[in-house]
Structure 1
Amino acid sequence: MTGQKRRAVDSVELAEQAKLKIKVRLEIRKKQEVHRSISARVIIGSPQVEIWVGEKQQAFIVHQHLLTLHSGYFNRRFSIDEEDEKIQLPEVQPKRFTDFVSWMYYGTLLDTDVTESETAGEDNWALGSFLEAPSFQNHCMDDCFRHACRDERRHFVYVTSIESVYKATEKASVARKFTTDLMNCLNPLKKLKEGSEKWNDWTAMLERCPDLKADMENAVRQDWNGTYPWDCQYRDSYMVEEFNLGERWEEQILARRSLEQITMDAATGEMKSVLQLSHLKRKK
């Protein structure tokens, strides 16, 4: 292929990548709008519960129906005992639960340094796995993993960040798949001089993380050809399957009351029932 043809191909590929970025950005924005809209409706008429988090048992007062909407863990807990007044999560970090609560209400993590940490992204993703909140996991993948890697200030892979992902997440998770692909794509060991201090740091880390070493060796070989795992064309490979939020709220509504009862209550002007009936009768 001549240089001119190569440049023409590169130009087309760049244009396609730009279109895909815009498409993904619009999809994420639309998803957040739906998230905020439904969450705002769910809290009307919802009881509030206390969730006690961390070793020091910090109390979070949260709308119960919002928890059951977004988390399979809480949905199961409250379906067993609707009046479960004190749920304790000593193994959960309060900073990470703060992010989860912010995401439930607003569709985003808190924009503050107070909740930041070097391992916030992977710890949030792991919390989403524990709480059975796939939408939260995907938000973390987009906002913490992919976005952080695109940021020029954090473009290169760090020993501590790679190792922390493998400490926080479970085997065969897409978080580990992303990390494995990142390692194979950027290949720090091949770019560093053998025997150098940094090369030794990477080698020692791989010895401490045999799962990562095995995953790198067993991964399907891919020619990244100037692309990276955080690029939009690979995004679907790192997403976990989500539930439809509108359908889930519908199931949650009808699990508590019949359509007949909701219709009768809505006729009296009760706003919780008015909102629920509107959702149930929405255009499919």
Structure 2
Amino acid sequence: MHWAESPSVVFVRDFAYPCPQRRRLRTMTSAGDVANTPAHVYAEYVLAPSLPDSSLPAPVAQPDGDDAPPRPRPALPYRINSHRLRVQAHAKNERARLLSGPLVEVVVGAGDGKRQWSIHRNLLSYHSDYLASELQTDDATKNRTGNKLELSEDDPKGFELFVKWLYQGKLDDVSNVSGAESKYDYAVACHRLFMLCERFDMPHLKNMAIDQYRKGLNEARLVPDADEINEIYRNSPKGSPFRDLMTRIAARQIMDPDSDRDAEGYRHCFAASPDFAVDLVNAIKSGSGGFLFDDPTDGDDCLYHDHEHGPNCYTKGKGKEGNYKFI
């Protein structure tokens, strides 16, 4: 029986590098395709940790001296074992599986701005349980064929970033975008991507999207106006990080001593969502660092008097009778 067919043999194959120890880590991490590494560069031989001691070949006594014949090359199961490269090989096989199989026609947006993509169904189902459920092919689902997905309420710009991440595993850094307006537009697209990931239940990509959004605003030195803040806040679910971010941006604009903007500019935000007013006050309290206001019951009495401003106060009464309703 051939040694590879023996049930007691664990087949372990990995690739090694002929570089010195001090450069080995760099080579392993920067290698392009380890599958193309020739066999003659296999490095030292070590025993796989999964092999029992009883399965090891008995050591052969070698004569001493310069005339000793070279040691035989160990069998393939006993060669170098590397967890890092096993993970890389598994990832390579997994990627090949995800990029195979049927394609799904995804239609995003509505009207003239509608766009269409063809994406591997295995890839969509792997990253999102929500999409896996939507793309089921049994008769109980709306999508009986499992080859079409319509997202009419979503923004194609955000979905374009989603597709890029699916196939490339990364988002473009907003720092590489030139121009303040372009940076801001890219940040807006990242917000649309965040909303997609909120529904698809993809927290990792969602965190990447909001990081790029904040970074884009910071580098562009631009922030949403009151109308944009109102739209983002209302379209974000309760407890969303974007709700917290919008109220903190509004609070900073109001508290900025170099700005003439006050809370009046956000009146329609308060009318559209009473929660915005509560969150805004809490954001001001949190951002002020626990600063305590002056005691309103102490200090200048004329501040609360019903009379014209002047150097002296001669009427320290309670104002004209009938002007106030006491409770």
TM-score bin, normalised by smaller chain = 0.5 to 0.7
Indicate whether 1:96 and 2:158 are aligned: yes
Any residues of structure 2 matched to 1:1-284 within 5 Å, and which? 40-56=95-111, 58-79=115-136, 81=138, 83-109=145-171, 116=185, 119-145=188-214, 147-151=215-219, 153-154=221-222, 158-184=225-251, 186=252, 188-191=253-256, 200-218=264-282, 221-222=285-286
1:96 is paired with a residue whose SS is: helix
Please tell me whether the aligned partners of residues 55 and 91 of structure 1 are also in contact (alpha carbons under 8 angstroms): yes
Please tell me whether the aligned partners of residues 158 and 190 of structure 2 are also in contact (alpha carbons under 8 angstroms): no
1:277 maps to what in 2?
Answer: none
Ranges in structure 2 where 5+ consecutive residues have no aligned partner = 1-87, 139-143, 290-327
State the alpha-carbon separation in 2 of the partners of residues 170 and 78 from structure 1.
25
Please tell me whether the aligned partners of residues 192 and 198 of structure 1 are also in contact (alpha carbons under 8 angstroms): no
1:75 is paired with a residue whose SS is: helix
Matched letter for residue 205 of structure 2: F
Q: TM-score, normalising length from structure 2?
A: 0.47
Higher relative contact order (CA 8 A, sep 6+): 1
State the alpha-carbon separation in 1 of the partners of residues 236 and 283 from structure 2.
18
Please tell me whether the aligned partners of residues 159 and 205 of structure 1 are also in contact (alpha carbons under 8 angstroms): yes
Please tell me whether the aligned partners of residues 247 and 279 of structure 2 are also in contact (alpha carbons under 8 angstroms): yes
Q: Give per-residue Cα distances to partners, 1:148-196, cap 9 Å, x unaligned.
A: 3432623x56324422321331112122123334444x2x2233699x5
Ranges in structure 1 where 5+ consecutive residues have no aligned partner = 1-33, 226-284
State the alpha-carbon separation in 1 of the partners of residues 266 and 102 from structure 2.
50
Larger helix percent: 1
Change (3 A) 1:142 1:101: same
State the alpha-carbon separation in 1 of the partners of residues 110 and 283 from structure 2.
38
1:222 is paired with a residue whose SS is: helix
Please tell me whether the aligned partners of residues 124 and 132 of structure 2 are also in contact (alpha carbons under 8 angstroms): yes
1:151 is paired with a residue whose SS is: helix
Select between 109-118 and 211-220 the one with higher mean Cα deviation: 109-118
State the alpha-carbon separation in 2 of the partners of residues 53 and 71 from structure 1.
17
Please tell me whether the aligned partners of residues 53 and 59 of structure 1 are also in contact (alpha carbons under 8 angstroms): yes
Q: Give per-residue Cα distances to partners, 1:232-271, cap 9 Å, x unaligned.
A: xxxxxxxxxxxxxxxxxxxxxxxxxxxxxxxxxxxxxxxx
2:323 maps to what in 1?
Answer: none
- The percentage of counterpart residues that share the same residue type is 23
Q: TM-score, normalising length from structure 1?
A: 0.53
Change (3 A) 1:97 1:114: farther
Q: Give per-residue Cα distances to partners, 1:35-75, cap 9 Å, x unaligned.
A: xx678445332322111222245321001111112223211
Change (3 A) 1:192 1:203: farther
State the alpha-carbon separation in 2 of the partners of residues 174 and 199 from structure 1.
22
Matched letter for residue 51 of structure 1: V
Please tell me whether the aligned partners of residues 119 and 164 of structure 1 are also in contact (alpha carbons under 8 angstroms): no
Select between 52-61 and 196-205 the one with higher mean Cα deviation: 196-205
